[in-house]
Chain A
Amino acid sequence: MASVAASSAAALLQRSEALLDEKKINEAVDILNRLVDAEVEEEGREEAVKIKEQAILLLGKVLAKHSFAEELGELVVKTRNMIGNFSKAKAAKLIRDLVDRFLDMKSSTGREVELCQQCIDWAKTENRVFLRQALEARLVALYVDRDADKQALTIAGPLLKELKKIDDKALLVEVQLMESKAYQKLDNITRSRAALTSAKTTANGIYCPPRLQSALDLQSGVLHAEEKDFKTAYSYFYEAFEGYDSVDSPMAITALKYMLLCKIMLGIPEDVQSVVSGKMALKYSGIELEVMQNIAKACRSKSISELERVVEEHRQHVSADPIVKSHLEALNSALLEKNLLQIIEPYSKVEVQHVAREIKLPQDEVERKLSRLILDKSLNGILDQGQGVLIVYENSGSDQTYSTGLEVISRMGKVVDSLYSQTKQLP
């Protein structure tokens, strides 16, 4: 840790900037590291501190841009240790900047959570309330991304209470949106909807940047889709798509994908083609949209075997997104049911083998599905495995005669009782 005099420090800083321009990254990083590690001499302290701060910021930017995740993590730790050199506000700003860059890199070293937690603990001891809240919000987002929804909710709970008290609307909207996402992943749709409504109410009170607004729209769309209201979901996704498109965010393609999914679930797969060839969607054509288009084609053919084949082909893409996966499963099941009922329609007694052949699916799967339909009372019939047939019963309206007869008899019984008690009173 050689001590570097203030003036030479400034010179080194400029040299490193020059090196960066020439794209000699490693050398520049070396110089900056030296600057950061250097001890500060008493004379010219203010200058030296300022140089150090610039060095740290610049180093952070460079490391993030070139994805040196490990080094950036270490830089954060180093900065924390050097905190005595800077004023509290400056230190907080530096830490926040570095942590943001580190998390934005999304490089999944596995250290993100640990790092975040350490910084939060440090912020608690240093009593930097705003910094701690911002870091906790980032940690919640991190947990939700990693599917650790329960942990996200445990942190989000008290954080929301604090934020509501100090009325930090901007951060409040973000955390409420995260809460809604976490609940939706845990299948608790009621809570998710409640969280989203409070997020929207809070967002109404502030200027909402387009990215956040589009995120809110996307989440509303997802929740409406969960409730099978695909028309509203489609309009929300459209809004989200336009918003994301205007800021050139990679989330735009997700919004577009969900729009197509809604069209498919609404039963109008023909529209998928027109949406995809629309003006705005053209620049997003890629594998994701192709998958959707293939699924739409399979739906149009109304053939369940075709749909299963396409889903199997694109299994990776489909299962990567849990929302798409669950909706497609529901679609699959509905289509299968419709096809089966269509095939069975003209028969009163039909071989299960024949049904399996018509629908081009293996026999046990068909049998299992049929037994499920009978159990759920969607199909009024019974399976006879001994003969390998399905017998369909007529939909006879339930005969009310006997039940009304029984009721009449019980009423008569009551009449007889009352007459009995009255005769007792006769002399």
Chain B
Amino acid sequence: MPMESVDEEGLPKNPDLQLVQWRFLLSADDSVGVNKNAIWDQLLEAIKENDMAPFYESVCAETGWTVDPDLLAQLKSANEKKLVSLEEAIEDSEKNFGETEQKEALQAKAEYLCRAGHKEAAESAFRATFEKTVGLGYRMDLVFYLIRLGLFYMDHDLITRNIQKAKLLVEEGGDWDRRNRLKTYEGLYAMSIRDFGRAATCFFDTMATFTSTELMDYQTFVKYACFCCLVALDRSDVKSKIIEGADILEVLHGYPELREFVLSLYNCQYDKFFRTLIWLEQEFLKDRYLAAHTRYYIRQMRVKAYTQLLESYRSLSLSHMAATFGVSVQFIDRELSQFISAGRLHCKIDKVGGVVVTMRPDSKNFQYQSTIKQGDLLLNRVQKLSRVIHT
């Protein structure tokens, strides 16, 4: 999608997920290397603009910055004033106007509470609005609001419940636009709970029709899609989806680190790949959704790289392997032993000869074993059946 039109079609950034990302960065380790003061200023600006009293309190508590009581009082009073006026509008609409106006007034209140960061109040307000809303499209929009609220506070229960609800609504007859949007939300949530396979499928389904700029911008979306795809999909899928995916290639042109990461693994340039893993770790630690999965992901990618190299060799000298990866022999030794004992790699190290020998799990053998096992089970069941019939 051409960059300009994407922004227009996104839903309003409410609640603004960028704010939680900033909060995450502020509480992150100093080693990640972000300019905390600059971020704090930006965050403060946004808090003042949106009257986010409770959010301000929680941010200060978490990061250890001192609460400014004047600012807090100011925010709280602004909150109350606005709420009062919104309540009046709601009563007014109930008395004088019809369903649609009531629903709009209720929605205005819910949106304000959401923007101001009052989680429970916003939730109940949205639920009230939901009762009054007619029309599948509008209902779905409200559900999207709730999912975003859940993502803001990382409330897994809220998110899963609402994704289920949204799926039911879509089945009833949602339009393609909302269907694709739901897929993007689903993909993002799947990625944050480490379900990279599902995330990859969701992201690639919606690649061509990305409009959810309220969640993340297009470049970040492509970045997440590449991460999920590289860890979850095998080589042929990676080729068709990324190497030959026109939209992805376009973004990769402007994003050299990501490009290096993707291409170095595919083109078997393992030393470059290991260097990009360093960049990758930084990226992961800085991102709210991915920080918890950093070690898992990097371990997976290492296993993938080793498997890919070992696939074409029956035996491979340790020194050659170390040279290919641009690391020392001891490092390779340690790594391989770790993964072999965990059962991730099918090979053995011959330290005397200085080689690594692969043992290909023979598929025919495996099939023979499973035939025997399943045949046995089946025979048992037929016997049981015959006993039942003859009684």
Chain A contacts to B: CB under 8 angstroms: 149-150, 153-154, 157-158, 183, 186-191, 368, 370-372, 374-376, 382-387, 391, 399, 402-403, 405-406, 409-410, 412-413, 416, 419-420, 423
For residue B85, CB closer than 8 A to chain A, the reply is: no
Given A402-B371, A416-B385, 11 more A-B residue pairs with CB atoms under 8 Å apart are A187-B246, A188-B246, A188-B247, A372-B268, A374-B311, A383-B314, A403-B367, A406-B370, A413-B377, A413-B381, A423-B388
30 contacts between A and B (CB under 8 A): A149-B253, A150-B254, A154-B4, A157-B3, A158-B4, A186-B250, A187-B252, A187-B253, A188-B247, A191-B250, A371-B309, A371-B312, A372-B268, A374-B312, A375-B312, A382-B314, A383-B313, A383-B314, A383-B316, A384-B313, A385-B313, A385-B317, A385-B355, A386-B316, A386-B353, A402-B371, A413-B377, A413-B381, A416-B381, A423-B389
Residues of chain B from 243 to 301 with CB closer than 8 A to chain A in the complex: 246-247, 249-250, 252-254, 268
The answer to whether A186 and B249 touch across the interface, beta carbons within 8 angstroms, is yes
User: Which residues from chain B contact A158 at a C-beta distance below 8 Å?
Assistant: 4
Known: A186-B253, A416-B381. A409 touches B374 (CB 8 A): yes
Q: Is B320 an interface residue (CB 8 A)?
A: yes
> Which of chain B's residues have a CB closer than 8 A to the CB of A382?
312-314
Interface: B315 (CB within 8 A): yes
Interface centre among A189, A384, A385, A416 (most CB of B within 10 A): A385
How far, in whole Å, are A423 and B253 apart by their CA atoms in the complex? 66
3 tightest A-B contacts by CB?
A: A374-B312, A402-B367, A187-B249
| Contact residues in A for B2 (Cβ distance below 8 Å) | 153, 157
Is the beta-carbon distance between B246 and A412 smaller than 8 angstroms?
no
For residue B342, CB closer than 8 A to chain A, the reply is no
Other-chain contact of A406, B316, B353, B374 (Cβ < 8 Å): B374
B315 contacts A386, CB within 8 Å?
A: yes
Which residues of A are found within 8 Å of B351, using beta-carbon distances? none
A416 to B370 Cα, complex, angstroms: 19
Query: Is the Cβ of B382 less than 8 Å from the Cβ of A416?
Result: yes
Using CB atoms, name the residue of chain B closest to A161. B4
Could you tell me the distance between the alpha carbons of A368 and B320 in the complex, rounded to whole angstroms? 11
Q: Report if B368 contacts A (CB, 8 A).
A: yes
Which one of B313, B375, B389 has the greatest number of beta carbons of chain A within 10 Å?
B313
What's the minimum C-beta distance from A49 to chain B, rounded to whole angstroms?
42
| C-alpha spacing A158/B315, complex, angstroms | 58
B364 proximal to A (CB < 8 A): yes
Q: Please name all residues of chain A whose beta carbon is closer than 8 Å to the beta carbon of B309 when the two chains form the complex.
A: 371
From B246, B308, B375, name the one whose CB has the most chain A CB atoms within 10 angstroms: B246
Check B371 against A409 for contact (C-beta < 8 Å).
Answer: yes
The smallest beta-carbon distance between B208 and chain A, in angstroms, is 9
Residues on the B chain within 8 Å of A405, using CB: 371
* Docked-complex contact A375 and B355, CB < 8 angstroms: no
Report the bound CA distance from A401 to B309 in whole Å: 31
Residues of chain B contacted by A370 (CB below 8 angstroms): 312
Contacts of A183 in B (CB 8 A): 250
B382 proximity list for chain A (CB < 8 A) = 412, 416
Residues of B within 8 A of A419 (CB): 385
Complex interface: chain B residues within 8 A of A375 (CB)? 235, 268, 308, 311-312
CA gap between A97 and B313 in the complex, in Å? 66
Is the Cβ of B314 less than 8 Å from the Cβ of A391? Answer: yes
Nearest A residue to B373 by beta-carbon distance? A409
Instruction: Decide if the interface of chain B is mainly helix, strand, loop or mixed.
Output: helix
A154 to B4, CA, bound (A): 8
> B98 to nearest A CB, angstroms?
39
C-alpha gap A413/B368 in the complex (Å): 18
Taking the nearest CB of chain A, how far is it from the CB of B256, in angstroms? 13
Interface range for B: 35 or more
B378 within 8 A of A: yes
Are B315 and A385 interface neighbours, CB within 8 A? yes
CB distance from A425 to the nearest CB of B (A): 12
Question: Separation in Å of the B210 CB from the closest CB of chain A?
Answer: 15
Please determine whether A371 and B268 come into contact, CB atoms closer than 8 angstroms: yes
What chain A residues lie within 8 Å of B357 (beta carbons)? Answer: 386
Chain A residues in 8 Å Cβ range of B249:
186-188
A387: contacting residue among B246, B252, B268, B315, CB under 8 A = B315
Instruction: List B contacts of A368 (CB < 8 A).
Output: 268
Q: Tell me, in angstroms, the Cα distance from A74 to B183 when the chains sit together.
A: 56
Q: A118 vs B382: C-alpha distance in the bound complex, in angstroms?
A: 87
8 Å CB interface, B68-104 against A: none
Shortest CB distance B384–A (Å): 8
Q: Kindly state the separation between the CA atoms of A154 and B7 in the bound complex, as whole angstroms.
A: 13
Whether A409 touches B375, Cβ cut-off 8 Å, given contacts A186-B253, A391-B314, is yes
A384 and B314 alpha carbons, distance in the complex (Å): 5
What residue in chain B is nearest A405 (Cβ atoms)? B371
A411 to B256: give the CA distance in the assembly, Å: 52
Cβ–Cβ < 8 Å partners of B315 in chain A: 384-387
Residues of A within 8 A of B268 (CB): 368, 371-372, 375
Whether A413 pairs with B378 at a CB distance below 8 angstroms is yes
| Chain B contacts for A409, CB-based, 8 A | 371, 374-375, 378
| Residues in chain B near residue A154, CB distance under 8 A | 3-4
Which residues of B, 294-344, contact A by the 8 Å Cβ criterion? Answer: 308-309, 311-317, 320
Q: What distance in Å separates the Cβ of B251 from its nearest Cβ neighbour in chain A?
A: 9
CA–CA, A423 and B390, complex, Å: 10
**Nearest-CB residue, chain B, relative to A417:** B381
| Chain A residue at minimum C-beta to C-beta distance from B358 | A382
**A262 vs B317: C-alpha distance in the bound complex, in angstroms?**
43
Q: A383 contacts which of B312, B375, B385, B388 (Cβ < 8 Å)?
A: B312
Q: How far is the CA of A355 from the CA of B367 in the complex (A)?
A: 36
Are A410 and B374 interface neighbours, CB within 8 A?
Answer: yes
Q: Are A402 and B313 in contact (CB under 8 A)?
A: no
**A190: chain B residues within 8 A (beta carbon):** 246
CA distance A179 to B377 in the complex (A): 64
Query: In the complex, which residues of chain B have a beta carbon less than 8 angstroms from the beta carbon of A149?
Result: 253
A376: B residues at CB distance < 8 A: 235
Whether A187 contacts B312 by the Cβ 8 Å rule is no
Question: Within 8 Å CB of A413, what residues of B?
Answer: 374, 377-378, 381
Contact of A187 among B250, B316, B367, B370 (CB under 8 A): B250
Which of B359-373 touch A at CB < 8 Å?
364, 367-368, 370-371
Q: How far is the CA of A420 from the CA of B383 in the complex (A)?
A: 11
A423 to B381, CA, bound (A): 14
Report B-chain residues with C-beta under 8 Å of the C-beta of A150: 253-254
- CB-nearest residue of chain A relative to B389? A423
B333 CB to nearest A CB, Å = 16
Chain A residue numbers with a CB within 8 Å of B252 are 187
- CB neighbours (8 Å) of B353 from chain A are 386
Most chain A CB inside 10 Å of its own CB: which residue of B252, B311, B315: B315
